[in-house]
């Protein structure tokens, strides 16, 4: 990597951006992680590296953060607040929603931008949306949720190993994920490790202040929908 770094110093006279998308697909490649780490430590000022990943990066970033050389955008930053949902629907799309309707959207989307985007895509043009827009969403919520489920399957669930998929399905009946309770339900000893690994991959799991975790409500609904073993459910 020394050669391309030296070439960058001699070549890039203007700000240049190198974008690595879907970095999580590398599946913990230590070789590539070490290359990127070297690049981050030795890269000159003009090139800038943008890494997009569903998962937390495994390379060390502490030194860069301490030097204020990293700008990090997390899932918490991307989630819409109640005011932002209101601004999106009211200001951008001229859809006047009441306080209770905004609360419903916040509760069911948990601020997830893709959910909000899919709602607007599903219900067509501005003229169509203005006609009983919110009632239509609520009445067709189950049908609409299938689009969310498809996304969950394609982007998240199918990428988990089979034992983690089974773990998620079994634990979908729980209000929150506590390692001891998950162990009692699944019979698996390393529940803490599994939960933490899934959390690091941003697979629709939220950390709670008390040290427990919970599933995103949409992802939980999806998991429940594929929990077919009634005896195991009981």
Mean pLDDT of 160-187: 92
What's the pLDDT band for 162 if we cut at 50, 70, 90?
A: very high
Rounded CA-CA distance 164/158 in Å is 10
Tens-digit pLDDT profile for residues 87-131: 988 888 888 788 888 898 888 888 888 888 877 777 654 555 555
Structure tokens at 44: 């000159």
Rounded CA-CA distance 151/153 in Å is 5
């Amino acid at each position: 990597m020394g050669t391309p770094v030296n070439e960058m110093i001699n070549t890039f006279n203007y700000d240049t951006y190198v974008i690595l998308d879907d970095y999580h697909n590398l599946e913990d490649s230590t070789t590539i992680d070490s290359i990127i780490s070297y690049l981050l430590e030795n890269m000159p000022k003009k090139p800038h590296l943008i890494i997009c990943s569903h998962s937390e990066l495994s390379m060390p970033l502490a030194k860069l953060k301490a030097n204020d050389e990293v700008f990090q955008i997390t899932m918490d930053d991307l989630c819409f607040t109640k005011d932002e949902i209101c601004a999106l629907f009211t200001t951008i799309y001229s859809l006047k929603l009441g306080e209770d309707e905004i609360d419903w959207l916040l509760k069911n989307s948990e601020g997830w931008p893709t959910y909000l985007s899919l709602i607007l895509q599903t219900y067509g043009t501005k003229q169509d949306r203005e006609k009983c827009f919110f009632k239509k969403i609520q009445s067709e919520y189950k049908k609409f949720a299938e689009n969310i489920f498809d996304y969950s399957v394609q982007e998240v669930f199918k990428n988990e190993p089979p034992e983690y998929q089974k773990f998620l399905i079994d634990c979908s009946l729980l209000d929150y994920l506590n390692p001891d309770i998950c162990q009692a339900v699944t019979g698996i000893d390393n529940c803490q490790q599994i939960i933490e690994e899934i959390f690091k991959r941003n697979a629709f799991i939220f950390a709670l202040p008390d040290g427990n975790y919970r599933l995103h409500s949409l992802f939980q609904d999806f998991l429940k929908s594929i929990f077919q073993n009634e005896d195991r459910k009981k």
